[in-house]
């Protein structure tokens, strides 16, 4: 963990705090993957897949793409 520095640990901390949000009740429009630091917006190829049980352990909810970017995530290329 040391080799990544404080920035990486800070992103993980933010991701773990945001992860506690319940998708079903808050209408988050952007979904991040904490393992890859990639976020998926509505209409993207993997957006719906991120809402499945398979990804619930590392799914992160964001209200906007800018919020995801500030947290250190990048947009999915697909």
Q: CA 10, CA 45: separation in Å to the nearest integer?
A: 28
pTM value is 0.64
pLDDT at 6 over 80: no
> What pLDDT does 2 receive?
46
pLDDT tens digits, 22-74: 444 456 799 999 999 999 999 999 998 888 888 888 899 999 999 999 999 99
Where are the domains positioned within the chain? 2-75
Pairing mode, if any, of strands 74-75 and 30-33? unpaired
Phi and psi at residue 32, to the nearest 5°: -105, 155
């Amino acid at each position: 963990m040391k080799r990544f520095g404080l920035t990486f640990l800070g992103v993980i901390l933010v991701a773990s705090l945001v992860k506690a949000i319940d998708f079903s009740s808050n209408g988050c429009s952007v979904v991040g993957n904490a393992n890859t630091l990639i976020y998926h917006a509505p209409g993207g190829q993997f957006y719906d897949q991120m809402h499945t049980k398979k990804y619930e352990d590392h799914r992160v909810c964001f209200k906007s793409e800018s919020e995801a970017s500030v947290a250190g995530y990048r947009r999915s290329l697909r």
